[in-house]
A and B are shown apart, each in its own frame.
Chain A
Amino acid sequence: GENVEQHPSTLSVQEGDSAVIKCTYSDSASNYFPWYKQELGKGPQLIIDIRSNVGEKKDQRIAVTLNKTAKHFSLHITETQPEDSAVYFCAADSARQLTFGSGTQLTVLP
């Protein structure tokens, strides 16, 4: 089955700096790669997703890049703000299931 590895597990940045979270996947047939943000006591919230026919997608301060050859994708958050502090999960689809990474605790220091 699919294996998704996510790094780093924790990340601290100063407010205004950029944050980058990286994921690798194993199933070359995967086509859908969403990113979720989970705040304490809440369910995950989809923040951006990308499909295999696109190399990069951007939405305001958030961007995702995908390298299908290397089987890795990354989340980039620019101009970080304290409200960006949360746990971020990547995921990849395989056999009509979503497999999630282990999560990254992002802390934005004021």
Chain B
Amino acid sequence: KAGVTQTPRYLIKTRGQQVTLSCSPISGHRSVSWYQQTPGQGLQFLFEYFSETQRNKGNFPGRFSGRQFSNSRSEMNVSTLELGDSALYLCASSFNSLVNEQYFGPGTRLTVT
């Protein structure tokens, strides 16, 4: 069974630009969660999607948004990028909920200059 895939793996953007990251969950998994990982703040929950609906959202500004498609693939978007948005963005999928076994992808390394 293929694991969680994320594209692109690396990205360099300039302040003020926007970015879209993509995540393909494990086949059959309907829950997709996104996390931001930085050396200073650690691993922080962004949001969870299930059946195309955002089920929960962490404490991030509205510049961070996401969506999920009918095939469970998910995208997250960050608008008006700031230097502090530089981070590893991780996607995780689970069968039905993030409070069950989650499988993480390798992440997208975003650098904002």
Contacts and interface: CB of A to CB of B under 8 A. Distances in A.
Contact of A100 (B43, B56, B99, B103): B43
A78 interface: no
The main secondary structure of chain A at its interface with chain B is: strand
A49 B42 contact: no
Interface string B48-62: 100000011011000
Interface stretch (B63-71, B79-87, B104-112): B104-112
Given A44-B43, A44-B90, A103-B42, A97 B103 contact: no
State which size class the interface on B falls in.
Answer: 20 to 34
Contact of B106 (A1, A36, A41): A41
Interface in A92-110: 93, 95-103
Nearest to B107: A43
Contact of A46 (B59, B102, B107): B102
Interface string A64-102: 000000000000000000000000010101011111111
Given A41-B106, A96-B48, A96-B55, A46 B101 contact: yes
A98 B42 contact: no
A45 B104 contact: yes
B48 A42 contact: no
Interface in A22-70: 31-32, 34, 36, 41-46, 49
Given A46-B101, A93-B99, A100 B107 contact: no
A43 B104 contact: yes
B45 A43 contact: no
Given A32-B99, A43-B90, A46-B102, A97 B45 contact: yes
